[in-house]
Structure 1
């Protein structure tokens, strides 16, 4: 299972997702452009030494990323659907994709995804933090597929 971040803007969020994926054994795809320099010390600070335990692939564009995933299914996490992330059936080779913090993903990216799911939350709030959303999503997907580590 993989986590893909579409044009992430905040280094600390990317660092936290790298640490999350190191702990769960999931690869990370970063779809550029990013809103910070990759060598930004905040990424390393958030990921700490866990960055050495996660497979990270950077892609110059969504099209370049899409060309690498083969038959894997793209599951978009978005606030623009009614399908609950907890009522969805995940597969072990799914790629869980998250949009940029300020704007999500454009329509052409959403249209390229085979599924769109939403983490249920109170109507009074707009959205969760990217790293928190990734943690909830990856935990549920791994639980469902029986692929949680140790």
Structure 2
């Protein structure tokens, strides 16, 4: 199973969007306090929409509690790595935890120092400060799932059917 871990998330809209991504990818979400918002925040609920009811989520008081309860393979997404996320192997058997930090400060440096060999980065233009957290999470989890051959994810349109666009174009002709 795959897991998304947010260490001290601050912006409710990002967390709401990440909740949607977790439900869509059948990925468990872990939140490590302190949180920069209340889980009842209207912006987070709006971003999470009706997906929250289907979300598998656990909240932890601190890093130590999370680490003690979740042995597995850790992948820390940070600017402080020379390895890209595509160089990482997400196919090893076991629980994969993709860790992302606070929107302004990232993952605390003491945590990163203890896990230097597990850090990866997403390449970007040198003058760019950072990517949006919810976009970074989506990039990371979909690379992980791609390497795992998209386990349990549907590869065809299920809501309207594969003929929807063909049928729709027939009705649009003069």
Structure 1: where are the runs of 5+ without partners?
A: none
Q: Whole-Å Cα distance in 1 between the matches of residues 47 and 114 of structure 2?
A: 31
Cα deviation code 1:44-90 (max 9, x no counterpart): 100100111110100000011111112x1111000111101112111
Alignment correspondent of 2:67: 66
Alignment correspondent of 1:81: 81
Alignment correspondent of 1:5: 6
TM-score (norm 2): 0.82
TM-score (norm 1): 0.94
Q: Secondary structure at the match of 2:141?
A: helix
Q: Whole-Å Cα distance in 1 between the matches of residues 146 and 53 of structure 2?
A: 24
Q: 1:136 aligns with which of 136, 139, 162?
A: 139
Alignment correspondent of 1:125: 128
Over 2 Å off, 4+ runs: 111-114
Distance 1:52 1:112, change over 3 A: farther
Aligned length: 149
Q: Whole-Å Cα distance in 2 between the matches of residues 80 and 51 of structure 1?
A: 32
Alignment correspondent of 1:146: 149
Q: Which has the larger radius of gyration?
A: 2
Pick 1 or 2: higher relative contact order, CA cutoff 8 A, min separation 6: 1
Structure 2: where are the runs of 5+ without partners?
A: 155-174
Larger deviation: 100-109 or 57-66?
100-109
